[in-house]
Amino acid sequence: MLGFEALGEALVRTDSVMYREVPSDSVATAEAVAIYGTLTESVPARLHDRSATNSPFTSSVAFQTSVIALLVVYVLLIYRFRSDIVALLSNRKALREEIENSSQGSVYGRFFSTTVGVGLLLSAIMVVKGADLVPAMASGVIAPSWIYTVAVPAVLIVTMVVLAVQIALLWVIGGVAMCSDVTSMLLRLRKISFSIFAILCAPSVLLYALSEIGQSKVFLYLIVAEVITFLVAFLYETFVLFVSKKISVLHWILYLCTVELFPVSLIVLTVMREF
């Protein structure tokens, strides 16, 4: 019995040393030693430095110079192909004839090739700008340098894979349904639509790229509105093409789901699962 009593007294003494009573009104200002005893050790607090600022790549001289150079190229393109742009935008008959043109040559061939190249460069600028958006949403977080090296090639490769899959699906469906002429028209429609979209959307993209991240919401909303308008116009043109060739609406819906939506949705779902 004496052994248990001695053990109990020792536990009481240890408890009183490690957990001292502190008045409730002084807990907020008491030190850790006063509350938890002399066996505690203070550890420096790890505070997140909210004063750190982002240093986005889009504010670098290299990026700004590239955007200005692309702006000069865009102005020269508008000046060089001004008659083609006016003809395609003001004359719907000329645009329809270009879509239905079955010959290998085209009056606007050089214009389309040039504007597609400019459109790809604009897409690369948007990718780099988007790489700065996510880190900028969290204060004190700086984007890793490797993201700018990987982002553009990765998006370019994914885009080329999606285009290759869509073109392959179009030719396969066209061969099975024996309507290769419609497939050729759809491919020309995609090229012409992207060219016109690049011409109309380039000013807002360039202004968005040259503006500060926190002060560019207006241009971003404008780009989103332009993309939505472009998609609606493209879907309408594909519908008109199917109707003009007396193809049922069901086939048009199958085309949209199989060719336009399936590859893109597959990429989006894969990215969402990874992140």
- pLDDT one-digit tens code per residue, 80-133: 998 888 888 888 887 787 877 766 667 788 888 899 889 988 888 888 787 766
User: Tell me: the pLDDT tens digits for 47-77?
Assistant: 444 433 444 666 778 788 888 999 999 999 9
Identify whether 52 is part of a domain: no
Nearest to 205 by CA among 109, 98, 120, 146: 120
Is residue 17 located within the same domain as residue 97?
no
Residue range(s) defining the domain that contains residue 95: 57-274
Do 183 and 223 reside in the same domain of the chain?
A: yes
Q: Is residue 45 part of a domain?
A: no
Q: How many CB atoms lie within 10 A of CB 53?
A: 11
Average pLDDT value for residue range 171-179 = 71
Alpha-carbon distance of 145 to 138, in angstroms, equals 17
pTM: 0.68
- Spatial contact of 255 and 234, defined as CB atoms under 8 Å apart: no
Between residues 233 and 149, which one has the greater pLDDT?
233
* Residue 43 confidence (pLDDT): 60
Is the per-residue pLDDT at 153 higher than 60? yes
24 with 77, same domain?
A: no
User: Do 219 and 165 share a domain, yes or no?
Assistant: yes
Residues 144 and 20 in one domain: no
